[in-house]
């Protein structure tokens, strides 16, 4: 059994596009920073799953939170772009 935050799976789909739009560094550190900031602004949606998470669950979250996730991902991308932390490990 695994405990998984469906919002994390969902938000990670929006991160790459938001980072591309922000025209910023896309290294692993900046990507995870952007994802962390985004997820801190969104409600967690934990589920317990036996294996892989049902895609219907992810899909319904996407439909419900699409605009919110998009907005938070874009804001997070700009925050990381302004102040990236790859030098401060
Ligand atoms: Zn970077």
Question: 36-63 pLDDT, tens per residue?
Answer: 999 999 999 998 888 777 788 888 999 9
pTM of the model: 0.87
Distance CA 36, CA 39 (A): 5
Ligand 1 centroid – CA 52 distance (Å):
30
Token readout for 83 is 């102040």
DSSP state of 52: S
Ligand 1 centroid – CA 25 distance (Å):
5
User: What ranges make up the beta strands (E) of the chain?
Assistant: 2-5, 46-49
Q: How confident is the model at residue 52, as a pLDDT?
A: 73
What are the residue boundaries of the structural domains of the chain, listed by start? 2-82
Mean pLDDT of 20-27: 94
Q: How confident is the model at residue 88, as a pLDDT?
A: 59
Ligand 1 centroid – CA 81 distance (Å):
8
Ligand 1 centroid – CA 86 distance (Å):
5
Q: How confident is the model at residue 42, as a pLDDT?
A: 97
Distance CA 61, CA 71 (A): 15
Answer yes or no: is pLDDT of 89 > 60.
no
Residues within 5 Å of ion ligand 1, judged at the Cβ atom: 25, 27, 30, 86
Mean pLDDT of 17-39: 95
């Amino acid at each position: 059994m695994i405990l998984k935050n469906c919002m994390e799976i969902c938000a990670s789909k929006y991160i790459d596009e938001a980072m591309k739009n922000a025209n910023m560094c896309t290294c692993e550190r900046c990507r995870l920073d952007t994802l962390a900031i985004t997820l801190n602004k969104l409600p967690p949606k934990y589920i317990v799953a036996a294996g892989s998470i049902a895609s219907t669950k992810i899909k319904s979250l996407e439909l419900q939170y699409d605009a919110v996730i998009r907005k938070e991902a874009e804001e997070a991308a700009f925050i990381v772009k302004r102040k990236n932390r790859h030098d401060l490990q």
